[in-house]
Structure 1
Amino acid sequence: MIGQVLGGRYEIIERIGGGGMALVYKGHDSLLNRKVAVKVLRQQFVHDEEFIRRFRREAQSAASLSHPNVVSIYDVGREQDIHYIVMEYVEGTNLNEKIKEHAPLQVEEAVHIATQICDALDHAHHNQIIHRDIKPHNILIGKNGRVKVTDFGIARAATASDITQTGSVIGSVHYFSPEHAKGVSQGEKSDIYSLGIVMYQMLTGRLPFLGESPISVALKHLQEDVEEPRKVNPMIPQSVENIILKSMRKNPEERYASARDMLHDLETCLLPQKLNEPKIAFSRQERMDEDHEQTRVMPAIRSRRAADSEEEREASVEWKGLESKSGKKNSWIKPVVWFAVIIILLAAMWYGIAYVQKLIKVPDVEVPNVEHMTLEDARTKLGEAGLSASPIEYRFDDNVPNGIVLQQEKSGYKVKLHSSIKLIVSKGKEMAIMQNYKGMLWETVLSEFQAKFNPDQIVKKEVKSDQPAGTIIDQIPVPQEEYDPKTATFTFTVSKGQGTVEMPDLVGMKESAAIALITKSNLKIDEKNIQREKSYFPEGYIFKQWPFEPGAQVDPGQEITIWVSTGLAEDAVEAIKSIAVSPTVEGQNTAVKITVSDAKGERDWKSEDITSQTHYSVPVVVSKKTNAVITIYKDGQPTDSITVTYLDAQRAQQESTFSEGLPSANPSGTGHQPSGGTAASSGKPPAPSGH
């Protein structure tokens, strides 16, 4: 799939994920010049006509959803046996990865994420779309923190077609609702149950039901009660636990009536007056009825009164026996014993009361000042003092960065140990989300922005493009990026149409590269426009172009003729000239440039800085009519030149070696005859330099 173009516009770049029914790729929309996500149906489902029909119908229905917390669906299409859906591409991670790295999440963060998911579900349910596969893997979190729910419509399409594999239900068993596990009809309340499991996992770091097989997990959804979240994580407020327990009731009638009702509780659960609300209670009449119907074997009950009478009679006989033996002289013993017992009991009670008072007495501690600290540091400092940060209120502030404590209550006061201290934390500057203006007319967008922002915040850049003149083809900030409305600069790249194009310099380029450059420049070339003949350029290189010179302004679509070399002309000789160049002052930096003028024309061959003598092998092409002249520039001034004649080049080929020792200065610019050294024709024609 990589590199394939779907629908004539969506180029597949790389695979970024996949599931049981589809693979997900990152793609590029060439028409609107934006990144997209392309979901492609797996091959094993492409021949199921009923599934494909419902898959496309539900995907198109999901495309009607328009909500900031729902991944937008742009297009649905088919390319031969490939069925695909084009969606919004979200840069960031998914909730599953976040839970793996940071669970359990902070209560405020988990509630914030769940609120956005619930808002998306409420919008979908109002449009008669049931997700049926809510799980952390399908919750995307963008770099700006916005939550996006994906896979709308696809899960519904799968269940609508009753897709089974050897009789099993396809889905994510750990997030099943009981009615899903039974295989009965599912509705909005199934999504609410799955969201409750996602909240449970975010706040406890584990799933409510685990088992050795999918069947055992599904049975636990049907039969077992979930362990209360506060037993796993005592930091969870009672109001938040109530939401989880209500959304995860096995009887759908006991869950929230709608996502809107659950959303209302999520939005208010962290208010101070709701944090410690009573634990939610559910009807247990059914369980009581079942208990009453069970038959129990009860042990026989002995009459307590009879037993007490018997013991009293025995004690009376024994006491009377003692009295008869001791006589009147020992009658004082009984009152003394009772008095001692009473004194011991009173002493024990006094010490017990004192001990309990010592246990229940809570010491006072001074509340430290945590203003201007980060929230994490503030929690640590309050924790060291035996206090906790709760509740936490967030406010926008233009001058204080995000996450810094703005205010606190009771700073410097003494409060009871383990008390909660309210903090007000900065959310930083109030940011806005950039909309997508690509493809819109500049004049329309300009009117909108002039009504909201200062003129110096709006920047227009005009470029040539295939888009109609006045169309916005790019923007900064990019779509969905956050920006500060007070300080942001908005840069719009606007098309000014194709206009004219600059004729490129093709001489010295390879044939394939020249043809590609002509096409890229919106010019035209056909096979009939390619002439081939011998020249002074290596085989396959361009040595002439017509009818436009390099740099000329040309209308798009003009035909270009090029001449391609089929090899060196008969009177051409190529050789490699060895030269040595020394710096102006040994050890000090000298800027050296070497130019060549030969049968191929004039060109810059080499430019670099040297500090010591450097040897170069310069390729040249010489003809009977044109010598080769190599010119050396030092620090921008011509200092030496070497002339290679036709006879020099022939001799170099015959002898296989020829060299030139370059003197330190040659102001006259005259050529030098070979004086030993090495130089030889290259085994393969050198590629042209300077192009």
Structure 2
Amino acid sequence: MIGRQLGGRYEILERVGGGGMAIVYKGLDILLHRHVAVKILRQQYVHDEEFIQRFRREAQAAASLSHPNVVSIYDVGQEDDVHYIVMEYIEGTTLNDRIKEKAPLQVEEAVHIAGQICDALDHAHHNQIIHRDIKPHNILIGKNGRVKVTDFGIARAVTSSTITQTGSVVGSVHYFSPEHAKGTTTGEQSDLYSLGIVMYQMLTGRLPFLGESPISVALKHLQEDVEEPRKVNPLIPQSVENIILRAMRKSTAERYRSAKEMLGDLESCLQPHRRGEPKVSFFDDDDMDEERTRVMPAIRPGQYEISAVEDDEPPKPAASENPPEKKKGGWVKPVMWLLVLAVMVGGMWYLVRYVQAVTTAPEDVMVPDLRGRPVAEARQTLESLGLGVDIEPQSSTEVPKETVILQDKANMKIRKDSRVKLTVSTGPPPQKMPDLKKLKLADAKTKLLQLGIKAENIKTDDMVMDEEPGLVLTQTPAANAEFTDPAATQVTLGVSKGPETIPMPNLIGLSENEAKNKILVNKLKIAKDGVSYQPNYKLSQGKVISQFPYQPDEVVAPGTEISLTVSSGLPKEAGQMAVNVPVRPAKEGAVSTVKIILTDASRESVEYQTLTGVDKLQTFQVNVVVSPEQNASIQIKADNTVIDVITVTYEDFKNHGKSGKPFTPGTGTGAGTAEPGGAAGSTTAPSGTTGTGGNGTGTGGTGAAKPGTETPAAGTQEPAGTSGNTTGTGGQNP
């Protein structure tokens, strides 16, 4: 369940608690970005339609409550077979934990907590909602000390639909009202009875009624009077004890009529004039009935003997002048009877004192309350007191294994050598592992979490299979295997990750043999007739130009076929030629580092050569490749400053490069030479030539002569020149 989203809004973060009916998780409301508590109905109840309807109806009714001492209910929903309630999340602890840690509580603290609970009940009762399950487990205490009552509605649904189920009775039987225990209609005063028990437990540290079984506890609610709290804890004021005794009266007529009335009593009970008030007394209506059946003492034989004799005696004779003498010694017999009676009373008094002395002798020991302790510790404690121990095992989903659930004698004095029966948890009853195969991984994990198996104990193994990714294929333990301790159960799920895939390797730029080896290593295949050849300017002969149909890093399955295109070298029309490049320092007489940067049909801005220590003009040979669409550009940098750029065209290749001899380009400046079309201006002519164009005079540039040509004589016209009078001065070869 952890990690799952409910309603597309509530993300489950962690488990924070659980009971017999539901599991509580901490969640995040993604829409409002706040933490919430999500209570999810246990799986065993999701198919009881009547229960689900009542559960939803009661939860919705509780959502109508708005009070600072009531946990707010935000939402109620269902997703598949998951029924959930979204509530306010309280950072703090429960009253049950507070009692275990600090009981008995200070009187002021207990009264303050009870007052807030009473205020919450008053609000609920005014909205026609009866809680029916008031107990410390359902009382939350925030970090700020505010008390919050929770579980409105759910308890009512539980008791109305599952009253015969053992789990629901055990959960709250110690806090039942008498009418609740009898199964009759419960009302507002039933909640007040339960609140009285909560106050009793807060102030004494123990429950008023204990028994060997839930039924015996329920009967004590009906038949036995509670031990007065002040006898257990003399620090309790009489006014507070009066509130507890009145709230816990078995007759609803003698309890508080409403939570508001009880709240008023709580608010004033600690005032000085009330602390020492008289103990409350209760009278039944039939105490004043003279016609009621009474217990009368039996009439003993001879009780009325004297009067009877006197009635039967004949009339006394008249008094004579000489009355008869009184009989002597008439006092002896009464004195003897008095002595006998005194001896009997003395003997009885001695016997009573002897019995009291025997019953209160040092052989009597106080039996502590051992519930919740490990059985080994409980056994050692009882045996150290001279008591025998009887163990009765009982499975439990709430109490950890080897822990005491109940004991038949607690918080009372018994004679040594007596035996105490301990009911000990054997842990949860065995459960069967569900069949998780063919389920999605998320659904399988949800089922396991609902069984109480911890998320960290669920492991997964990825399996390469021709199945849908994320599908559970194997499980350990197997389906229907029994397990008793969900928290310690380890589960391993084999999950399909789908067919095996690999990334397509990058084969471009590799040699043909390297590419074929890489294909085999990666479990791929070369398609039939999958290698083709074509010329290429950029990649040398034998290098892979492209791969088809899968590009590098695309995901493919093993055995996938691929085709390669391999370079067969430069195209036929490619022009390869050597070019003589003049190299000189940046400044005359200085020493420079010269870099030659080449861009041609097969390269782009490549640092062709770096020359150091250049101190004079010299020539360096550069091999270039040109094409009909791409010229060659040779950039010369001296000390990172561009001092010359030489362009070699495809025409230069056709005119000079096919001879196989190095080509030496040159530069020249025509002064006052007209551009084609007769416009006056200046033009740069090829090195060693004169400017051509309209009428004008040009001066030939100084530079290297073209390969295969001689230095032109003055006044010589290049073939590219047009008609006109032109005078030129031949260039000088370096």
TM-score by length of 2: 0.42
Bigger radius of gyration among the two? 2
What TM-score results when the alignment is normalised by the length of structure 1? 0.44
